[in-house]
Amino acid sequence: MIDFRHVSLRFDEGLVLTDMSFTVVPGETLVILGPSGCGKTTILRLLLGLIHPESGSIVIDGRDIVGLREREMGQVRRTMALVFQGAALFDSLTVRENVGYRLWEEGLQTDEFIDQRVDESLRFVGLHDVSEHMPAELSGGMKKRVAIARALASTPRVILYDEPTAGLDPINTHIINELICRLHTKEAVTQVVVTHDIDTAYRVANHLIMLHRGEKIFDGTVEELKASDDLHVRAFLSPGGVLSTPRCFPTKDGGYQVIDD
């Protein structure tokens, strides 16, 4: 269980997250949706304890991670895995070595166990055949799949994804979406998926929150999101529709404003 409670965070330019609260129940896939710069990656960094909020608490499995010492945070972090925005594979390691890296580094398992876990993880994403390839030999979509296999290999309770389908073609996007769904149904892993891809959000979400400039403006299901009449939600889901309405103008930061008469 992850519980974000009244979290606020400020960088030099001002508040990046304002009084952010949401809950992720075990086994669900939460999607965090919102435009560029709204604070999505920042939430993942907070969950991993890489940065700390100015106020509020972040409770993971009953333990508030705010102010936790690095050693204890390390224990919490070991239960989680992050699929980075750009896959972030080690270029000088093979696919197999990339997937097993964390397990070898932890040194808690036998080589035999790790080999088996790496095989299982690569089979799960359908890339067992390329286990001896180097990352440079893979397409962008395959790299993302390797990144998912790497996350899966450490048997995490929580997988965090930062823009898992950004820059992928529709077929690879579909494959990644299906893998996320399968991890939900078959492995019952808890997942937090940060994305601005609406199709991915609709496909994988059990629960969805939407951010706008660091504030939560929606919390509910996909059906509830589609039915929302909040102007910011509508603008994100169908920008053409909102911007074509009278008195609505784009702003320099990629948003829009409604000019009152």
Ligand X SMILES: Nc1ncnc2c1ncn2[C@@H]1O[C@H](COP(=O)(O)OP(=O)(O)OP(=O)(O)O)[C@@H](O)[C@H]1O
Task: Please give the residue ranges that form the binding site for ligand X (CB under 6 A).
Answer: 11-13, 16, 34, 36-42, 196
Nearer to Mg ion, 41 or 79 (CB): 41
Task: Tell me how far, at minimum, the Cβ of 34 lies from ligand X, in Å.
Answer: 6
Backbone angles phi, psi at 131, to 5 degrees: -60, -25
Encoded amino acid at 144, one letter: K
Shortest distance, position 138 Cβ to ligand X, whole Å: 23
Residue 23 binding result from Mg ion, ligand X, none, given CB thresholds of 5 to 8 Å by partner type: none
| Residue placing its CB nearer to ligand X in the complex, 12 or 91 | 12
The partner in contact with residue 105, picked from ligand X, Mg ion, none with C-beta cut-offs of 5 to 8 angstroms by kind, is none
Whose Cβ is closer to Mg ion: residue 38's or residue 103's? 38
243 CA to centre of own chain = 29
Residues 209 and 149: their CA atoms lie apart, in Å, by 26
Using CB distances below 5 to 8 A depending on partner kind, what does residue 36 bind out of ligand X, Mg ion, none?
A: ligand X
Output 11 or 90, the one with its CB closest to ligand X: 11
What DSSP string runs through 157-205?
Answer: SEEEEESTTTT--HHHHHHHHHHHHHHHHHH--EEEEEES-HHHHHHH-
Q: Report in angstroms how near the CB of residue 249 gets to ligand X at its nearest.
A: 21
* Smallest gap from residue 145 Cβ to Mg ion (A): 20
Residue of 103, 9, 1 lying closest to 50 (CA atoms) = 9
Neighbours of 78 (CB within 10 A): 14
Smallest separation (angstroms) from Mg ion to the CB of 34: 10
Q: Is-contact 151 183, C-beta < 8 A? A: no
Report what 196 binds from Mg ion, ligand X, none; CB cut-off 5-8 Å by kind: ligand X
Closest CB to Mg ion: residue number: 41
Which residues, at least 6 apart from 91, have a Cβ–Cβ distance to it below 8 Å? 134, 135, 136
Which residue type sits at 126? Answer: G
- Summarize as ranges the residues that interact with Mg ion (CB under 5 A): 41
118 near 152, Cβ under 8 Å?
no
Query: Judged by CB, which is closer to Mg ion: 41, or 109?
Result: 41
Q: Which is nearer to ligand X, 11 or 113 (CB)?
A: 11
Minimum CB distance to ligand X, residue 4 (Å): 14
